[in-house]
Amino acid sequence: MKIIYAAWRQTIGDLRPNIFGFGILGILIPVLAIVGILYVLGNDPNGEAGGVSIRAWAMISSAVGMGGFIIAQISSETYVDRISGALVRVRLLPHGPLVWTLGKSLYTVTLVFIMQFFCIILGLLFFPELHLSVVSFLVLLLLMLLILLSLAPLGFLFATFLRGTISQILILGFTTALIATAGTFFPLTLLPRWLQLLHYCFPIFWGGHLARWAVFDSAIAEPGGQFHPFLGIGIMLAWAIIGFAVVPAVIRRTFRKESLGNLQKMQAAARSYSGL
């Protein structure tokens, strides 16, 4: 219970400035950007494909698909804690790595979940052709949580290789490209076959696929022209279960590298990179 309580306190401490301070802008700006782009580019609410509004289709897909940003979020949070020396201090505390991992997982999942929730709410406000039943809305919330849990382990894995600003930018670029090409804003069938097959293995495509299954009746833009809910849920659960089974080993590897000597080298490299 003490470990859970400590992780909860860490989560609340991390969330407070992001919800009640200027950090809220970091949540709202990406959401407003996505909604604004879809509103401007899809300004014809009558534009349809198979009886489904194109911008409503993209709105629902992106609301769930943007959960992929949890990969970059966890990696970035880990880098900040590493360069500030927080991970070195955590390593010295009783159950420190476990508490840090639980707290960081709860914090990042909650933060990105709030972004996804705002995305759906703004979509309902600005896209009158988008209608959600209570059941569809609740299913979307569950799918948002599922995609976050399935991708969070990847964030911890990538964080082990993150040692500077350049690698941080590369991870963010990779995450953005993964989301943009996963059939989130346009049908996956428009992409080359090899890229389609790649995305069939990742949770981001299946998150959007299941979101569309929960909201729309037409599967005209889906691969094969039909929905595959059980396959999608199975793949996402597999990523979550296998991922969190591997996370403890990844965390141990991460904290074994944390020392005062490595911290001083990283801080010196960061100062040199910034010209200080």
Predicted pLDDT at 45: 52
What DSSP character marks residue 181? Answer: T
pLDDT mean across residues, the chain: 83
pLDDT over threshold 70, residue 261? no
Predicted pLDDT at 137: 92
Predicted pLDDT at 19: 77
Q: Cβ neighbours of residue 69 under 8 Å, at least 6 residues apart? A: 30, 112, 115, 175, 179
pLDDT band at 110 (very low <50, low <70, confident <90, very high): very high
Q: What is the dihedral of CA 203, 19, 95, 238, to 10 degrees?
A: -10
pLDDT over threshold 70, residue 271? no
pLDDT over threshold 90, residue 270? no
Predicted pLDDT at 145: 94
pLDDT over threshold 60, residue 47? no
Give strand pairing partners of 50. none
CB 146 within 8 A of CB 69: no
Helix (H) or strand (E) holding 253: helix 229-256
pLDDT in tens, 133-191: 899 999 999 999 999 999 999 998 888 877 777 788 888 888 888 888 888 888 888 88
Residue-wise burial string across 249-275, b where 16 or more C-beta atoms lie within 10 A, e elsewhere: ebbeebbeebeeeebeebeeeeeeeee
CA distance 209 to 123: 18
Q: Is 241 helix (H, G, I), strand (E, B) or coil?
A: helix
Most confident of 108-117, 170-179, 187-196: 108-117
Domain definitions of the chain by residue range: 2-274
CA distance 3 to 200: 37
Predicted pLDDT at 147: 94
pLDDT above 70 as % of the chain? 89
pLDDT over threshold 80, residue 69? yes
**Whose CA is closest to 154, among 188, 194, 196, 105?**
105
pLDDT over threshold 90, residue 17? no
Residue-wise burial string across 149-164, b where 16 or more C-beta atoms lie within 10 A, e elsewhere: bbbbbbbbbbbeebbe
pLDDT over threshold 90, residue 259? no
Residue-wise burial string across 1-26, b where 16 or more C-beta atoms lie within 10 A, e elsewhere: eeeeebbeebbeebbeebeeeeeeee
pLDDT band at 89 (very low <50, low <70, confident <90, very high): confident
Predicted pLDDT at 233: 94
What amino acid is encoded at 189 in this protein? T
Residue-wise burial string across 111-131, b where 16 or more C-beta atoms lie within 10 A, e elsewhere: bbbbbbbbbbebbeeebeebe
Give strand pairing partners of 53. 48
More confident: 207 or 31: 207
Least confident of 94-108, 140-154, 159-173, 256-270: 256-270
More confident: 44 or 146: 146
CA distance 107 to 272: 31
Q: Sort residue 48 into left (φ over 0), alpha (ψ -120 to 50) or beta.
A: beta
